[in-house]
Structure formats: structure tokens, C-alpha cells
Amino acid sequence: MKAREKERTLRERFGAAIRRTDVTSPGRWCLYVAPEAIREVCRFVFREMDARYVISVGMDDRPYSGRFLVSHNFAFDRDGILAAFLAELPPDRPEIPSIAGEVPAAGWAEREFRDLVGIEPKGHPYPKRLVLPDGWPDGVHPLRKDHAWNEVPEDWDDEVTFRFDDPPEGCTVVPFGPFHPTLDEPAHFRLYVEGETVRGCEYRGFMVHRGIEKLAESVMSYNDIPMLAERICGICGCVHNVAYAQAVESAAGIQPPPRAEYIRTVMLELERLHSHLLWVGLACHILGFDTLFMQAFRIREPLMWIAEKISGNRKTYSLCLVGGVRWEITPPLAAELRGILDRLEKEWNEVAQAVGRDRNIQRRTRGVGMADARLVKELGLLGPVARAAGVDIDCRRDHPYAAYDRVEFDVVVELDGDVWSRVLVRVREVFESIRIIRQCLEKMEPGPIQTPIDEELLPGRIGLSSVEAPRGESHHFVVTGENNRPRRWRVRAPTYQNLQGVPAMIRDQTLADMTIALGSIDPCFSCTDRLETVDLRTGLVKVWSQAELEQLVRARKSH
């Protein structure tokens, strides 16, 4: 009913520009919009209807409908609706008005579908390459259906270096990355510094794009993909595993058994626990509080042991199949897990008190890395970053999945929007996760853990799934397809949005605060095979290619 009410509002405003609508499943809504009206429709949805921007997806649908497709996904959190606003584009000229000027959070996503699918967002305020390296030839778009998953363009040139923007007048360039001693993964921030104050930065990532979406639509089946999805992130693997499975289930109308939904919830909260403990420990390490760093990792270890007993692995659980789960939580495992939670609650309470009393942590984090509610709205910031700014969003409550509609928990919110507030959100959420797991173990009744699927999934169905990762919402978009695999699978991890807020969070702050400000979003970067070196004697900059790095390694081994 809420979706129909919103549809009436949009039809009254835009008339025939709303071409058709479809409520695909409870809380999932697809609207097809005339391409020439998409910018104004999205502006109205974002500004007037106060929807939250999620992601934009480009798709080559020519083999099936003869068209390209763009989907701008939004969330009506208070109404529990995930909505896709879709526009169909002609095969010979795939162009669409950019919405990034009206919805700044869409900036990266539009640049990405320009790179990978070749759909041009006309009027984009900053149409610079995002994913493809500069040596990739123009006019070659790897997510088009006529580009093979293992094809390398003949005129690809890995010697071409990325062109950064010119720094502001009076600023010095300080490279932060792509390798930095405080980061476990590579990331390249080009900082523009005046004295000790950061005046701006440019980010360059996607140096090694793993092509998981192309693999999924080319050579993998529906039930192969959950294992691939789990390897998107080394910390939030179960989140992507569940989000993908739920997207397919949403598209196909499959309902997992209740026990499977409870098991999914337990494992997701176990992952949240070990992630929060990991992050708090690493944050203390960045700030020089190594005693608390070691305590957090000591307390975390029993969670890894119980995860291994349940799934056979400390981290990658291989939990989901479409329609259910692979692993059971037996009564002995449930009893052991309860004991671990009891000890964790007691020990974490002591950690929380130590963090809350420590004046040095507060001095290093209060007023640092500011992201207020306005920035959260404009850039679609997520998770602890949003909740620390007083923005009360959480997919577990707003768009319930698994068994979250059958358990009680509080959404932890702070107000100051700084690193200190993000620390408090993470610390307090640990207690809520303990509370959720206990309820699941009490309410979970015996029963099957998989729903049999006897028929092939109908192609052309759209599924939307959002799962609250420790870092924030992970969103998966699926279009079902032929040959037992999806036509299109688009993954949007929370770091994808939160990274877009880093330049504003560090602007006019000291260079020394860059590390903890960046660390406070708990960034997850893909691996990289390129690095930049600066000759301190001459000031010359060199970007090393993968082939050159391999030659260096072999030369060192030969000596």
C-alpha cells in the first residue's frame, strides 16, 4: 500500500513519464521512467520524498530486450521499501541525463557504468574515469555482453599513468598510499596540504578490479556465486553471501525456512562481533593504545573458534545456498556459543569502560573526521558513519531480512559526527549483537534449513537485497537470467559510498589526523598491482607496472 501511495504521488507529478510499475515482492518496487525525465524524478524522490540514495546500475540488456538499462536504486527507510527507478535506453546511443548534480551520492556509480558498460551520463559534473585504468582503450567496455570475460584488448597499454588533478594554488602534494604502514590494504589519496592542514584530496582506487560481476554472468551458476560473493570482503564475507542469496530469492519468490533465517542471523551477528572487536582494536593501535589493541584481539579469538566449529572455517563460512543455508547449529554448539557470549559480555564491558575513560583517545578523536547529517544525506554515507552523525538508519530494522523482524534490539545512535562518536557506536553495538544472538538461540525451532528448488528460475526478474554489514549497508542488485545464472549482478559495498565522504571529512584538518579519520570508516580496498615511488633526491615520480614489479621480484630472488 505504501508503494502504491508513492506511485500515485509520482504519477500526479510526472504523468506519462512514469511508464509502468511493479511491486516485485514485499518491500521491493520497480518503476520504469522515461529517460528524459529520470533526472527530475530522482531529484524529486531524493529531495521532496526524502528517499536515501543506494546505488546506480548500468546493464547491457541488448541480447534480451534490445536495449541498455539504467537502474537508480533508492531506499524509503521509514516505509521499508527498496525501490529501483529504471530507464530503458536505445542500443545505438546509450545516453541518460546524469543525476549526480541533483544527487551527489550518485557521482561514482554513474562514472562506473560509463566505464564498464559504456552508458554516457550526460551532464555529469566530473566525468573522469573511475574504474578503468588510463591505458584501457576508449570504446571498450568490459561489462557489455559482446566482451568476453577473459578478453584483453589488443591496444591495452599498461604504461599509461593515471592523471591526477592539479593541486590548489599554494598547496603541496603529499601522497598517502597506495601503500601506507597504518593500512592493511592499498589505497591512494593525493592530499593537498597547506602547512600541516589538508585543503583537499583526490582518491584513486580500483587499480585491480577483480571482475566478479562479469564472472558471475559468464561462467558461474546461481549456487556457485555465494562462495564468490563471500570473497568480496575479508571481514564482511557472510554479509555478501547472504545479500546475494536474498537478492535471488527476492527475484524468484523463494522463501527460506525459518530455521535457516535464524541461522543466517546468528552468523551475521557473529561476523559483526568479530568485525567490531577487530576495528576497535585497530583504532586503538592507530592511536598508540596497544594494550587495548591486544585485549580486543584476545577477546575476539573465541568468536573465531566457534565460527570454525559451526562452518569449518574461521572467517569464510560458505553459509548460504539460494533457498537456505548449508550449516546447522546443533544443541552442543548453541550451548558453547551461549557460554562464549557470557564471557564476551563481561570482558567487553570492561573494555568499554576503559575506552570511555581514556582521555588520550578522546583528545585524538573528538572533532576529528567530521561528517554531519547533511553530508550523510548528500553522499549516501552508511553504517556507523551515519549513525554517529545522528542519522537513525539500520537495514536490520528498516528493511528486515533473515530473522531480524523476530528479535528486539536498539539502533545505536550518537550525535557529534566525529571519530569519537563512531568509536562509541561500534563499542555499544557489540552488546546489541550479543542480545540478538541470544534471542535467536532461544527462538530457533527445529526444522529444515533449505527450501527445495525444483524449477529453473524465470529470467528477467529483478531482486533487491540490503544487508547491514558492520561497516554499513551492503546492497545487491540481481536480474535473473538464462543458463542457471544471472544476467546482471551488481554489488555495492558500504565502503563504496563512505570513501566518497573522506575528502570532506579531512578537509581543513591536520595531516596527522588523516589516518584515524580514514580508519574510522573502516575502509575495505581491493588489492592493487601498481605502486608509485618518489625519488627523494630528484623529486621524480614513477608508477610501476605489474610486469616491472614481477621483474624486480625475480631479480631479487635470483640474487
DSSP string, 399-429: S--TTGGGS--PPP--SS-SHHHHHHHHHHH
pLDDT tens-digit profile of 157-195? Answer: 888 888 888 999 999 999 887 765 555 666 788 999 999
Give the pLDDT score at 288. 85
d(CA 153, CA 151): 6
Nearest to 459 by CA among 484, 439, 436, 437: 484
CA distances from 511 to 121, 188, 190, 273, 495 (A): 35, 15, 12, 31, 22
Q: Per-residue pLDDT for 198 more than 80?
A: yes
Higher pLDDT, 58 or 282: 58
d(CA 178, CA 505): 19
Higher pLDDT, 239 or 1: 239
pLDDT tens-digit profile of 508-559? Answer: 999 999 888 988 898 875 432 323 444 545 655 555 555 665 566 566 555 5
Mean pLDDT value across the chain: 91
d(CA 549, CA 155): 21
Give the pLDDT score at 532. 40
d(CA 551, CA 131): 26
Q: Which amino acid is at 507?
A: R
Helix axis angle, 290-311 to 258-286, nearest 10°: 160
pLDDT tens-digit profile of 455-471? Answer: 889 999 999 999 999 99
Q: What angle do CA 335, 467, 120 make, to 5 degrees?
A: 160
Q: Do you know the residue count of the chain?
A: 559
Contact (CB, 8 A) for 323 and 256: yes
Give the pLDDT score at 547. 61
Confidence of residue 285 (pLDDT cuts 50, 70, 90): confident
Q: What angle do CA 370, 425, 104 make, to 5 degrees?
A: 45
| Helices and strands, counts by H and E, the chain | 19, 17
pLDDT tens-digit profile of 34-90? Answer: 999 999 999 999 999 999 999 999 999 999 999 999 999 999 999 999 999 999 999
CA distances from 351 to 469, 529, 546 (A): 22, 38, 43
What phi and psi values does residue 110 have, to the nearest 5 degrees?
A: -70, -40
Q: For the chain, how big is the Rg over CA atoms in Å?
A: 23
The pTM score is: 0.91
Domains and CATH numbers, the chain: 2-163 (3.30.460.80), 212-519 (1.10.645.10), 530-559 (no CATH)
CA distances from 306 to 271, 317, 334, 549 (A): 11, 11, 10, 40
